[in-house]
Structure 1
Amino acid sequence: MVISKNVNRLLRYRSLLLKMQDLGFETVYSYNLGREAGVSPEQVRKDFSQFGIKGKKKGGYNVIELLFTINNIFRKDEMQCVILVGMGNIGKAMLQYRGFKHRMIQIVATFDIDPSKYRKNCPVPCYPMEDLKRVVSELDVKTAIVAVPERAVQEVCDQLIAAGILGILIFAPTIIKAPPHITINNISISHELESLIYQTLHVKRD
């Protein structure tokens, strides 16, 4: 069974492979990737096997071929469309983030409850929540980003799921009730900072 940690590491390997390709590397070994990713060579090989990726014994991996295989796994040969709910500060920052384009991700529509933010005749239109189900169906989107106040997250997720969304990224530490076939990832900046602060306070100094 493939879990989110395996997926995240595979994406990390992909980023490293892109850098290696730019530097002119033709072959890479599990210990190269492991050293740069902060994991053991055994973990690299285990992660690859989870996705059916095999290398040559003692011959490593061809960088171009490995990138091609990973790109196919994540369908990087085609643009992946997502929608965004919440056009506050975080939502606007997500919409303006240029890194999505390089990773073949495109925000194709946004939603908000504030009528002053509605825009339909622009590259990325903003719709009222009442249009959610129609737009999701028309655009055939399965993934959404939620950047709304914590108190509204569950309600918004319920609406997204009812509209046909299968994967949701949330910028809040909220625990969401959802059917088992729905994938929900939470990002809490405050929790990440608290964890980082704890680790810096308890680091062992030589």
Structure 2
Amino acid sequence: MKGIIVAGGLGTRLYPLTKVISKHLLPIYDKPMIYYPLSILMMADIKQILIITAPTDHGQYKRLLGNGTQLGCDFQYAVQNQSNGIAQAFIIGENFIGDDKVALILGDNFFYGIDLTSELQALTNMDGAYIFAYEVADPDRYGIVELDQNDKPISIEEKPNNPKSNYAITGLYFFDKDVITIAKNIQPSHRGEYEITDINKVYFQRNKLQVKKLDKTIIWFDMGTFQSLNDASQ
């Protein structure tokens, strides 16, 4: 299994800081933000990792992380020229992924929990798609999954005005090799972006989407606001 970190975007919720530095290079306590999603992929025993950045930040990431050999990894880099959505990462990374399965994590996602390592390593042999759900107080900010009493998905929505549940889909996804073909066939949303929610919907319609509901022994942050930056640094 290979890994992708999406570290592009404008980070507008963190202006004016992100006018001069990539959001994913901002400090979380004593480390750049991108170290945290990188550590999640390494916990899953994923060593081949593609880091997708905005054009203006490409050189900064290469200077920070190098080729990965110092961490026992193989880092490659690619550029997302425009913020066209998370799902575009699979098209940008098509040659990198090849016929392998792939884990994608957003560069502003923070996970912490003592049981994470074994959970993640078990997913390197999964089929279909596997996502994580986390209960939040403000579900209208996220992609949302509605679950039945057996934690099976019923519906998926992207930032709904009237959410059907409080379970946000976190920014960590595991997919089989079909994800590239699926990504090539989805259409831009009303926001003009290729939404990863639409990829998840295809797997859901094929009955190949699995959802793991994270309990409160696991901490998850979307580090996209000043408050969440502060919380993650505590």
Q: TM-score, normalised by structure 2?
A: 0.25
Structure ranking higher on relative contact order (CA contacts 8 Å, 6+ apart): 2
Find the structure with the greater CA-based Rg: 1
Greater helix share, structure number: 1
Q: TM-score, normalised by structure 1?
A: 0.28
